[in-house]
Amino acid sequence: MSTVGATGEAARRPFPGRRARLGDVLLQGVAGLAALGAFVLICLIAYKVVDGSRLSLSTFGLGFLRHVGWDPVHNRLGGASFLFGTAATSLGALLLATPLAFGIALYLTELAPRWIRGPVTALVETLAAIPSVVIGLWGVIVLGPVLRDHVMPALHSTLGFIPLLGTPSATGTGIFTATFVLTIMILPIVSSISCELFLGVPAELKEAALGLGATRWEMVRGVVVPYARGGVAAAMILGLGRAVGEAIAVAQVIGGVDNLVSWNLFNGGNTLAGKIALEFQSSTSSLETSSLFYLALILLVFSLVMNVFAQVVVRRVARRQGLVAR
Amino acid sequence: MRETKGVSVSVSSAIERAVRVETKREPLPPRERLQQVFEIEDLSADYGSNPALKDVSMEVYKNLVTAVIGPSGCGKSTFIRCLNRMNDLVPGFRQTGTIRYHGQDIAAKDVDPVAVRRTIGMVFQRPNPFPKSIQDNVAWGLKVLGMKDNLPERVERALTQAALWDEVKDRLKVSALSLSGGQQQRLCIARAIAVEPDVVLMDEPASALDPIATQAIEQLLHELKSEYSFVIVTHNMQQAARVADMTAFFSISRGDEGERWGELIEYDATEKLFTAPSDKRTEDYVTGRFG
């Protein structure tokens, strides 16, 4: 630096140099800590789950995933029935909820008169606000008996040749009932995300279609749905994530059968999340506790994979809608 | 389906067209010898409690370019969107009066707006190609309207008419969004004329484009008006002077309680409206003394 005096320096440099501003520093610090906190939390949870399942991992290895049955007295524990229960109920719920949610979203965004939109949207959102234990209770007391007395026998007598629709359950609980309960639970999230997607379709594109003489249906099919399609896949994956992780309501209606993998959806079963939630308090041995951690590990890995997959899908679709032609 | 009109379109690059800008204006035949496309009578429109247009009466003639000019908020977009029932989609919109298209009142409630829009096409202010390939953009309307015979030929013809064919013929399967703004707008014009409309409405089609792309669009209007009738909204007076045979000047009127609405002030041959306007307000606007 030269030895010119402060006044001369200021005269040649109209702007002061960079300096730290308290607000910026605080914001940086607080926000950075929060972000770091989330990261640390995930790592801690993952570590704890892996650590907890270590005993079970070394005892059963990957065979745990194939073994059907949960017999803590003889230390014969396996996760296959829970994996099956989780997959069957979640995929089933997704299968039922997606077209329904799609319909709801299309109706609310494109077809419904304005005065219907508000109330119906609010109702769908309210569905998401019902505590899952309440839906589960309703599932046991109302839905289960109705399905048992009317729906299951009808399905069995007409479509009974399909192995999935075997002998109806005597209690009304089971995979089938759990699937219905899960459908109700993921319907709001899938439909509200679908709504956002459809609303996100630029008005100019819709006008372009209508201006060409397309009908409303042709516009929806040709412009709105293709534009939103990739996002809908992501909405489905998020719904699936919710279904996979739901414990309480499912545990209430699925029947808690731990040693059965059956094609008949009317049979009882159990899910990963349901088993963990109900069994943790009553675990009798360290191996059983560790095996519950193993179940949690499976659930965790599955959820993480789903999440990453959803993001990949969204990004790929965004790119495709951008500059690469189909 | 209407038969294909046999008109050859010279194929040269858009740049070439844009450079040799010239505005040959043959003198207009007297109005009574022109064929009417629209006969608009006492058209008023409002959005809920806000009036947008009052008592517009004018005719639109076949195979001419009719420009609608005026300041922002004068209802010119509302007006043009009445002509193909696009305003039906706007909640709270109401209109009164008649818009006779070849004699039929298309503003009547029992007329199917979808059918109206099939005959009276529209090009919008911002280029709005579908996120599909260039080819599919043009073919989409054709497929929807069931004009599936000779699809590739129809696509080529529309792109040629829109002076885009030479630029895109080697990459028809590439996304339309990879085109420049001017190319996208010409693609939108190709998409609109592919379905063989009778009238093409254009709502400030060049306002988002640079001067070269604008000239390309204007050149197109000159070449295509032998086949179609155009109504073009523009806030650019020079553009109206360059492309339009007839020009309608809309302005804003104010009521006693501060309400504002658009009104048709003067409608005449473009030459006359710009050089010898009969209304003081038109004169003020076209000479730049407005406001």
CATH 1.10.3720.10 fits A54-322, yes or no: yes
pLDDT at A322 over 80: no
Helix (H, G, I), strand (E, B) or coil at B252: strand
Region A238-261 average pLDDT: 87
Q: Which residue has the tokens 């360290």?
A: A286
Chain B touched by A1 (CB under 8 Å)? no
Q: Which domains does chain B have, with CATH numbers?
A: 35-132+199-286 (3.40.50.300)
Two structure tokens written together for A240: 């699936």
Q: Percent of chain B, pLDDT > 90?
A: 62
pLDDT at A6: 53
List the alpha helices (DSSP H) in chain B: 14-19, 76-82, 113-119, 134-144, 151-161, 165-168, 181-194, 211-224, 237-243, 270-275, 280-286
d(CA A295, CA A307): 18
* Mean pLDDT over the full length of chain B: 86
Percent of chain A scoring above 90 in pLDDT: 37
Which of B118, B128, B131 faces A213 most closely, judged by CB atoms? B118
Torsion of CA B149, B152, B155, B159, to 10 degrees: -150
Q: Tens of pLDDT along A23-42?
A: 889 999 999 999 999 999 99
CA distance A112 to chain B (A): 12
Report domain extents, chain A.
54-322
Digit-coded pLDDT (tens) for A119-176: 988 888 888 888 989 999 999 999 998 998 888 888 888 888 888 887 777 788 889 9
Q: Do B263 and B237 touch, CB atoms closer than 8 A?
A: no
> Any idea what DSSP says for residue B175?
B
Please give the Cα distance from A240 to A186 (Å, whole number).
8
* Residue in chain B lying closest to A321 (CA): B131
Contact assignment for A205 to B89 by CB distance below 8 Å: no
Interface contacts (A, B; CB < 8 Å) = 80
Show the DSSP H helices in B43-83 as ranges: 76-82
Write the ipTM: 0.82
d(CA B34, CA B229): 12
Give me the mean pLDDT over the B44-73 stretch: 92
A46, B140, B183 from A321: Cα distances, Å: 36, 17, 18
pLDDT confidence band for B17 (50 / 70 / 90): very low
CA angle, B59 then B60 then B62, to 5°: 135
What is the pLDDT confidence band of residue B243, given thresholds at 50, 70 and 90? very high
Helix, strand, or coil (residue B53): strand
Among A226, A227, A325, whose Cβ lies nearest the Cβ of B174?
A325
Residue A110 contacts B, CB cutoff 8 Å? no
Task: Name which of A96-105, A190-199, B28-37, B196-205 the model is least confident about.
Answer: B28-37
Tokens at residue A22, please?
């308290």
Q: Supply the DSSP symbol for A147.
A: I
Which of the four pLDDT bands, split at 50, 70 and 90, describes residue B18?
very low
User: Which distant-in-sequence residues (6+ apart) come within 8 Å of B70 by Cβ?
Assistant: B76, B235, B249, B250, B251, B252, B262, B265, B285
The 10s digit of each residue's pLDDT in B155-166 is: 999 999 898 999
* Separation of first and last alpha carbons in chain A: 61
| Mean pLDDT, range B11-30, rounded to an integer | 52
